Structure 1
């Protein structure tokens, strides 16, 4: 929980605000200095916008952050537009510019890496989205670890973790509640993403109380379906105890109910985990012809 608190509060909120205030109020001696500071701020805001987990604080705050940037940009430009383009710098000014240049390079690299995760060169398989009746948020998704930590593990490299947003555009009532019912997705019906045969299923494991995890059973309660026309096995994990409706050997139709979203297994909070494999290697999936990445919404 402490790492999540640090990421959300400091990296996503405090750090961008600090650089916006510096852009607005820090004294510049030339346009050249201002340009370095402005570009570094662009890279930081862009990276946080792309890779932040905005379901924790309200999805639309990421757009407010962009609006604040343009407001600060406008007023900061008014402050420097009469300054010379370049003047000889003092030692202190050189150090200050070196810091901004370093940040520009580092966060420019981070942004470029994140952008590579927006698509994939591999052939995706089309699946039916296994949830209905809500606004769903992709917390992990994409083809780079900047957007999807699963990408580091070959069998799950294109896995997706999905939560549901409530009326305030956050995933839960409270920052990190222990009560499972406070998570908007908990108990939602899950539907088969394809037609096929159930290869494996599990139904007896308890739902964990956040932030407790069951590391001995990573999938928790789950269903593995061999999709008839995809040559792939699709895994749906972390299902609610006692809710799984299918067993090994069952045939399922596309969008047939198969169980409920839970919080069993090695999971930090209720969510849908879904990934597809061919011969033990993860393959990209798409819904309605779209490859989804972190911060995408599915309605």
Structure 2
């Protein structure tokens, strides 16, 4: 059921908006404004929030972008035709009365007529207003308020998709007051064929994920603070693990005061030991699906201790880029 809902959000919902764009003809300018505002905000939210390789394909987001542009085109094309029927404009030279009537057919003026149309228009305007704030947050969350720490991306050889990351909770599900060390954490997936994270749309097994088993390398020079390597990998979205195994298999590094976590590694893949010194690029382990993880991915975070000994997350920069949700990191 969860997989079906995920596919519906990424595929079904945009297609429903397309059907509504093609079939629904608002009867007033206010209804037209409300409908198009709602469609635009909904499509913008899905475009920026969507975890496209997990829900469909990275390339399907451009289908959503095309629908969004169609929505804009239809709005600007329809808006001048909002004159009242009672005005009955005189056809311009070369334009027949029939064609002019076709352009404004169905439009009753500025305001809706009838109680039901007022209720329907008001409801759509309310939905558009409710969507405005999360869309703003998705845009605002693409920049970081703090100076990032310079690290090397911990994966190689491929195109990697940032499924979660940014500076607020809407664009980054780790950004919570209860877990300050994770506030700028990234969830990373690998792109396979057709821009998908898996071999097929409905695949759930670990081996079907392009990132499962990928080598994870040290993003900085430092010392290994803690490791764990014996937690079994979850099968599919099942997370039957105890709270103490919530991070699954992991490696924690201290890189000159920056505490780096690489989490949800594959069982028995950790290649370093506590207290060991590592150099940037040293093998640490392999990507798995252990702990509180519903699909194979790499959870990656950096944090620093504050004066009160609280570990607080810091943004991460790789080769001049501070990636956020929806970005693709291409590596040789």
- In 1, the alpha carbon distance for the partners of 2:140 and 2:78 equals 36
- Aligned counterparts, 1:66-85, within 5 A: 66-75=65-74, 78=77, 81-84=80-83
For residues 233 and 113 of structure 2, the distance between their equivalents in structure 1, rounded to whole angstroms, comes to: 61
Q: Does 1:146 align with 2:144?
A: no
Aligned to 2:321: 290
Of residues 255, 271, 277, the one that matches 1:227 is 255
Question: Structure 2: how far apart are the matches of 1:148 and 1:87?
Answer: 40
Alpha carbons of structure 1 residues 157 and 241: separation in structure 2 relative to 1, 3 Å: same
Match of 1:101 in 2: 125
Give secondary structure in 2 for the equivalent of 1:294: coil
CA drift at 1:74? 3.4
**Displacement of 1:45:** 0.5
What CA deviation, in whole Å up to 9, does each residue of 1:52-87 have, x standing for no partner? 111120011111111123235435655664331525
Counterpart contact for 1:25–1:76, Cα < 8 Å: no
Once the two structures are superposed, the pairs formed by residues 85-234 of structure 1 within 5 Å of their partners are 86-87=110-111, 89-152=113-176, 153-213=179-239, 214-216=241-243, 217-228=245-256, 231-234=257-260
2:278 corresponds to which of 227, 249, 252: 252
Q: Secondary structure of the equivalent of 2:175? A: helix
Which aligned pairs between 1:29-68 and structure 2 lie closer than 5 A? 29-56=27-54, 57-68=56-67
Counterparts of 1:162 and 1:172 in 2: how far apart (Å)?
A: 13
CA distance in 2, matches of 1:12, 1:187: 27
Say how many residue pairs are matched: 295
Structure 1 unaligned runs (5+)?
none
Q: CA deviation at 1:124?
A: 1.2
Cα distance per residue 1:119-170 (max 9 Å; x no partner): 1212211110000001100111111111111111212111111010102111
Structure 2 gap segments, 5+ residues each: 84-108, 306-310
- Larger radius of gyration, structure 1 or 2? 2
The alpha-carbon deviation at position 116 of structure 1 amounts to 2.1
With the length of structure 2 as denominator, give the TM-score of the two structures.
0.83
Residues 80 and 233 (structure 1 numbering): CA distance in 2 closer, same or farther, change over 3 Å?
closer
SS at structure 1 position matched to 2:174:
helix
Instruction: Judge which range, 173-182 or 210-219, deviates more.
Output: 173-182
